[in-house]
Structure 1
Amino acid sequence: MSSSIVLMSDRRVAAIPVQDCGEDLVDVRRHGVHVDDRKRDAAGAWTHVRQTVLTRLLHAQSLLPAGVALLFIEGFRPPALQKQYFESYFGQLARANPLWQAAELREAASRFVSPPEIAPHSAGAAVDVTLVDHQGRELDMGTRVNASPEESDNRCYTDAPGLSERARTNRATLGAALSAAGLINYGTEWWHWSFGDRYWALQTGQPAALYGPVERP
């Protein structure tokens, strides 16, 4: 685990206050974003993000090279679902590492699933995205989207060593566009980018998060 990556479980993230600006959640499908349905839910929550997040996502799209587009995998995730994901992964790690203490398990789990109380997805502030070519085929990013550290041998980390030149270039292309649009990456997940949440506030030196958890679009 890279010591330079601030994890979601870090106390400094939870210490950031939230001053929710009250922006609505909006459906990216209505704004020309390519959306994958692997995270589809019955209520259609997965395609929603806060308005400014969408604006910045569209700006990032405009910065990509010709013939390359963003593929939106998941945005908003209801708090109850986030809690389910976190507890499930925490349990997997506990079974695989019976000698680990609760604090160790929480830290390790937060590499891949954010603790529910501070989760950017549950604030409508985060997007999981990748790149596709002009035929809609996903580009080689070195791992699949949502590959765990265990599955990928830590190649899910954005700056992981040992990637092919093509995967490294594609990650750099994705990162350049999203960074220029004002989103920040979670360094353990190359596909996860956010704006306005507590993690964003800590990483960009803002005094408070713009978005806190919401229940439904």
Structure 2
Amino acid sequence: MQHARSLLPAGTDLLFIEGYRPLVLQQRYFTDYRDELAATHPDWTPEQLHQAASRYVSPPEIAPHSAGAAVDVTLVDQDGHELDLGTRVNASPEESNGTCYTHAANLSEHARHHRTLLLNAMEGAGFTNYGTEFWHFSAADRYDALMRRQPHARYGPVELP
């Protein structure tokens, strides 16, 4: 993270939102979002609900936060005020009208500029962005290994004592 911070312009810094997430909390986040989708789409099958929920919340069995391999970050100014990145961190696709997606088309130029700063800093420091959440970056987990075409991930879910 320090390397990523050094790649940002003066007066801009990272705000760390979340890193490691226990498996029980990951399960709750996934189940809550899946249930929210089920209430909105009562005609969807369990498979459709699982797939739709997985685009926003990782299933516990593969969740990078539960491996300690992911961080959620955003940008702040020199006074600690969050910069405009188009929507709040952790906004769902439904809530944000899709602006949670990293490369959403419906962003202001200001928000797009801030996202570019964030992406360049985090990717320059070796992190991989998860494209459905502009704030989510990982390193050496399953998604990062897939994107880098690595044969396996270094980290997987773990329950800390």
TM-score interval (norm. to shorter): over 0.9
Percent identity, aligned pairs only, is 63
1:173 match:
117
Corresponding letter in the other structure for 1:107: Q
Corresponding letter in the other structure for 2:117: T
For residue 148 of structure 2, the aligned residue among 173, 188, 204 is 204
TM-score normalized with structure 2 length: 0.98
Q: Does 1:138 align with 2:82?
A: yes
1:148 match:
92
Q: Does 1:111 align with 2:55?
A: yes
Instruction: Give the whole-Å Cα distance in 2 for the aligned partners of 1:121 and 1:153.
Output: 24
Instruction: Give the whole-Å Cα distance in 1 for the aligned partners of 2:92 and 2:158.
Output: 26
Corresponding letter in the other structure for 1:136: G
Q: Which runs of 5+ in 1 are unaligned?
A: 1-56
CA displacement at 1:165 relative to structure 2: 0.6
For residue 128 of structure 1, the aligned residue among 66, 72, 75 is 72
2:4 match:
60
CA displacement at 1:151 relative to structure 2: 0.3
TM-score normalized with structure 1 length: 0.73
Instruction: Give the whole-Å Cα distance in 2 for the aligned partners of 1:77 and 1:64.
Output: 26
Aligned residue pairs total: 161
Q: CA RMSD in A?
A: 0.8
Q: List structure 1 runs of 4+ shifted beyond 4 angstroms.
A: none
Structure 1 SS opposite 2:135? strand
Structure 1 SS opposite 2:74? strand
Instruction: Give the whole-Å Cα distance in 2 for the aligned partners of 1:138 and 1:93.
Output: 29
